[in-house]
Chain A
């Protein structure tokens, strides 16, 4: 199985706790003989590396000056697409699943789904509704609209707690069957993630 993880933070770039989680996930996947690619951002340390069996591909933002994290994210997505397309073509045109961590690279995942039929998992670390304490300015609503797009287009949604599953249902009216809970501290964590990937891969191959 070949998987690409999209994450806006990955060590050595650590913004919150997502970076360490994604590293743990990627390393575990690689140990389980999953070909694991991580496409992530770094200001200047760009390019391709292999770290603990994980193939990392770091891109930077082609537009340096920004007015908000929203515009910053939206011009970075094309570089994420470029990196993912390079992996896709090099692999002879087959990627089983993309795993998008949080909202930042949902636009890229959606485009790749439409272009190549690659299914994606939307993994939620946090939601804008909680980060902004329910604020509903156009800025927050724009980010929520991207989260909504991810919920809508994703094949499956992975959350880390029952509470987050209920929040996704409450805020975005996601059908419960679409959500899988994989608690990082539980023994079943990796198995649940892998089963989720496999369910999408099989659905994808049977098309």
Chain B
């Protein structure tokens, strides 16, 4: 082992390729680890216009040609992408003369991580961001079962499994039957500094989305069932009975069309705005403008959008489930409501919008908690400690 700890991160998304939460997670984690003296090599899928190798904030990023094999379905694409990723990663490791640890994020890179572990005889760490069981609320087909078993295989092969919340630790432990001491909780983080930059006149910006007399209720997330967007849409008329508000919905997803139709049928088209996917800067400005940020998820392993809203000093209303339950303390750092319950959600939203003192108190407390608990400096330090303890265990094995 050289003096400098060398980690190869495997991830199917890394900026500018952003599909879900793994991309920003791996970006901030890698960048903070690099600041903490860890040499990080990220191997990820390619993206139009992004170079195949570059150094980003001290992190070496390699992008693999991932769309050259025809694929009958998404899972087959994932496995074929892993074939290519593993091939490229093997060349990189050989050129580097070895790395100390492989760190894989979700089943999407399971094959590559497991293969590299055995070929180079180096420990594998896995971060499980989400499970097929959780995403689908059970396993209902061979396709889902195959993904579920691939996730189980990854956790089996991993030296340690990292989850971002206590909820996910217990979920993953139960769903894959893992021993307690294999699991480690390290929270997700948010870079609060990103929200301090102000290069936009927010009053002017706000007018693009709402009338001056309207409060902004913000939802950020994929428009899919598990995110509970339909619960929010059903809460819209209940909120409007008490407060004049504009609902701004950021994100794409298969539910968009049916939701739009539902809103049209209620005659509330002028009160709900779908922005689609927006760039980072617009998103941060929206979060800063929001009078309340809502996270009505039915299943949420962590709930990074709640954390972002807290960093943006927007009061949050979240459903009391999964990771959200741990991030938010009711009536202290936000308001918790019953999941899948439009009445409860409407109550939470109006409670924040009608009581300015409460809203101010919530956002001050929330901001303080984010800076203290969920900062990347601390998270990368915890991650580095895990790497070091795994390597010390590894040094006593016959592989070392």
> Are A74 and B70 also in contact (CB < 8 A) when A82-B118, A110-B87, A142-B76 are?
no
B94 at the interface (CB under 8 A from A): yes
| Cross-chain contact B69 with A145 (CB below 8 angstroms) | yes
| Cross-chain contact A63 with B90 (CB below 8 angstroms) | no
| Cross-chain contact A67 with B143 (CB below 8 angstroms) | yes
| Cross-chain contact A62 with B153 (CB below 8 angstroms) | yes
Binary B-proximity of A74-87 (CB < 8 A = 1, otherwise 0) = 11011001100100
- Which residues of chain B have C-beta atoms less than 8 A from A142's C-beta? 69-72, 76, 80
| Cross-chain contact B146 with A63 (CB below 8 angstroms) | yes
| Cross-chain contact B149 with A63 (CB below 8 angstroms) | yes
- Which residues of chain B have C-beta atoms less than 8 A from A74's C-beta? 76, 79-80, 82-83, 111
Inter-chain residue pair count (beta carbon < 8 A): 103
- Which residues of chain A have C-beta atoms less than 8 A from B118's C-beta? 78, 81-82, 85
| Cross-chain contact B90 with A115 (CB below 8 angstroms) | yes
A68 at the interface (CB under 8 A from B): yes
> Are A65 and B111 also in contact (CB < 8 A) when A74-B82, A138-B72, A142-B69 are?
no
B120 at the interface (CB under 8 A from A): yes
- Which residues of chain B have C-beta atoms less than 8 A from A77's C-beta? 83, 111, 115
B93 at the interface (CB under 8 A from A): yes
Within 8 A of A (CB), among B110-163: 111, 114-115, 118-121, 142-143, 145-146, 149-150, 153, 156
Q: Contacting B121 at CB < 8 Å: which of A85, A117, A138? A: A85
| Cross-chain contact B142 with A65 (CB below 8 angstroms) | yes
| Cross-chain contact A114 with B80 (CB below 8 angstroms) | no
Binary B-proximity of A53-96 (CB < 8 A = 1, otherwise 0) = 00000000011111110110011011001100100010000000
A190 at the interface (CB under 8 A from B): no
A112: nearest residue on chain B (CB-CB)? B119
| Cross-chain contact A65 with B80 (CB below 8 angstroms) | no
B30 at the interface (CB under 8 A from A): no
Within 8 A of B (CB), among A95-139: 107-108, 110-112, 114-117, 137-139
B86 at the interface (CB under 8 A from A): yes
> Are A115 and B70 also in contact (CB < 8 A) when A63-B153, A75-B111, A75-B150 are?
no
| Cross-chain contact A114 with B87 (CB below 8 angstroms) | yes
Complex Cα distance, B79 from A112, in Å, reads: 17
B219, chain A: closest CB distance, angstroms: 34
| Cross-chain contact B80 with A85 (CB below 8 angstroms) | no
- Which residues of chain B have C-beta atoms less than 8 A from A81's C-beta? 115, 118-119
Interface SS of chain A: helix
- Which residues of chain A have C-beta atoms less than 8 A from B56's C-beta? none
Complex Cα distance, B94 from A127, in Å, reads: 32
- Which residues of chain A have C-beta atoms less than 8 A from B150's C-beta? 63, 75
A113, chain B: closest CB distance, angstroms: 8
- Which residues of chain B have C-beta atoms less than 8 A from A117's C-beta? 94
Interface residue count for A (Cβ, 8 Å)?
A: 34
Interface residue count for B (Cβ, 8 Å)?
A: 34
> Are A75 and B115 also in contact (CB < 8 A) when A63-B150, A115-B120 are?
no
- Which residues of chain B have C-beta atoms less than 8 A from A112's C-beta? 90, 119
Complex Cα distance, B117 from A82, in Å, reads: 9
Complex Cα distance, B146 from A193, in Å, reads: 39
B145: nearest residue on chain A (CB-CB)? A65
A141 at the interface (CB under 8 A from B): yes
Complex Cα distance, B111 from A107, in Å, reads: 11
- Which residues of chain B have C-beta atoms less than 8 A from A145's C-beta? 68-70, 80
- Which residues of chain A have C-beta atoms less than 8 A from B86's C-beta? 107, 111
B365, chain A: closest CB distance, angstroms: 46
B95: nearest residue on chain A (CB-CB)? A114
> Are A71 and B79 also in contact (CB < 8 A) when A78-B111, A89-B121, A107-B86 are?
yes
- Which residues of chain A have C-beta atoms less than 8 A from B115's C-beta? 77-78, 81-82, 108, 111
Complex Cα distance, B86 from A75, in Å, reads: 13
A62: nearest residue on chain B (CB-CB)? B153
| Cross-chain contact A67 with B111 (CB below 8 angstroms) | no
Q: List 18 A-B contacts (CB under 8 A).
A: A65-B145, A66-B142, A67-B76, A67-B142, A67-B146, A70-B72, A71-B76, A71-B146, A74-B111, A81-B115, A81-B118, A85-B121, A114-B90, A114-B91, A115-B90, A115-B94, A116-B94, A142-B80
The 10 A-B pairs at the shortest CB distance, nearest first, are namely: A141-B70, A74-B79, A114-B90, A82-B118, A115-B90, A65-B145, A138-B72, A145-B69, A139-B72, A78-B115
